A = this chain, B = another copy of it.
Amino acid sequence: MQEILDASQPSDWRTPENKNLLYLDLDSGRVLIELAPAFAPAHVANIRALAKNGYWNGMSINRAQDNFVVQWGDPAQEEKDRKPLGRGAKAKLPAEFARKTKGLPFDRLPDVDGWAPEVGFSGGFPAGRDPAADAAWMAHCYGAVGAGRDMAADSSNGTELYVVIGQSPRQLDRNITVVGRVLQGMELLSVLPRGTGPLGFYEQPSQRTPIKSIRLASEVPKKERVGIEVLRTDTPLFAELVEARRNRRDEWYKHMAGHIDLCNVPLPTRAPPPKPVAEKAKPKPRAKKPRSGAKPAGASKS
C-alpha cells in the first residue's frame, strides 16, 4: 500500500471543504470529522448551525459501549433541562436514512456484501446502493458518525452524535441518519473507558469525557486549522490500492482472499504537501510522505 501511495500524484488527493469539516476538541487532542451533505443535507445544515452556536462546547461524551459506539450530546434527561439549540438550528428534521441514486457518484467495489446489493465509495464515504429501490446510503463502518434517534424515524436532530468504534454495525444502515465520518483522531475516541450503565452510558457524570468545543473549520481562525488531504476514491490509483488489498502480494500472506469487505478498505489521509514558497527554494516535486492508514502487516514483530 505504501508503494502505491508513494506513487500518488497531487490529483489523487482531495481537500475536504472547511464547511464540511468539524473539529471535535478534547483534552486529549483533536478529532476531525467530515460531514456528508450529499447524503444528509438537513442534518448537516443543522450540525453546522449547532457548531456555529457553540452548542456542544462544555458538553461531554456520555456513552462508550464496547465494540459499538461512543456518543455525545446534552446529558440532561428532561426536555426542560436541555440546552437551547440556538439560532438557525431546527428541533425537528426529516429522516435521511437513504437518498436517490441520481447524480450520486459511486465507485463500486467488485465484492459481494450481504447488507447491500452494491457497495463502494461516494465522495470518499463508504456507501451501499440498491439500484432496484433507487436508494443509496452511507455505511456504518468504523469511524462512521451518525445522528442518534428515538423510536420515531424522524426523531433525530443532529444534537446527539455517535461514532462507530468496533465491528461495523451494518444492521443500522438505512435505519438511522449517518452524517459523516471521522478522518483523523479515532484513537482518541476508541480508547475511552466503557460505560457500565445500560447501552454503555456512564453511571456517574464524573466519568464523562468533557468536550472543549466542536467547531466548523470554516469558523476557526486560519492559523488554528489543520491541513488535511484525503485520498480520492474515484481514481485508478484508488482502484489499484483496493486490488492490492483484495489480493495481498507481500510475502507475509500465504493465502490470497480475492475479496475485501467495504469496511476493511483503508481511506488514507495525509498532511498537505508544503507549498512552493519561492523559486530558489527548489520545492521537491514529490508529495510529502503520507500518513499511513491501518498498517496491513500481520501481528509479527518485524
Contact = CB atoms under 8 A, between A and B. Distances in A.
Interface of A: 65-69, 71, 73, 77, 95, 97, 111-115, 141-142, 146-151, 153, 155, 160, 162, 165-176, 186-187, 190-194, 198-201, 245, 248, 251-255, 257, 259-261, 263-264, 294-302
Given A148-B301, A160-B301, A191-B192, A295 B170 contact: no
Contact of A245 (B153, B171, B187, B200): B171
A167 B142 contact: yes
B171 A264 contact: yes
Nearest to A193: B191
A186 B67 CA distance: 9
A65 B296 CA distance: 11
Contacts of A174: 254-255
Contact of A115 (B69, B168, B257): B257
A260 B170 CA distance: 9
8 contacts: A68-B295, A71-B299, A111-B114, A171-B253, A171-B257, A175-B253, A175-B298, A201-B301
Contact of A67 (B66, B162, B294): B294
B194 A187 contact: yes
In the complex, the 7 A-B pairs of residues with the closest C-beta atoms, listed nearest first? A148-B299, A114-B259, A162-B299, A174-B255, A187-B194, A66-B187, A142-B167
B194 A150 contact: no
Contacts of A169: 264
Contacts of A260: 114, 171
B115 A198 contact: no
A232 to B, nearest CB: 21
A69 B299 contact: yes
A200 B245 CA distance: 20
A172 B261 CA distance: 13
A65 B175 contact: no
A175 B253 CA distance: 6
A161 to B, nearest CB: 8
A74 B176 CA distance: 45
B146 A257 contact: no
Nearest to A66: B187
Contacts of A67: 142, 186, 190, 294
A75 B253 CA distance: 24
Contacts of A65: 294-295
A119 to B, nearest CB: 10
Contacts of A148: 298-301
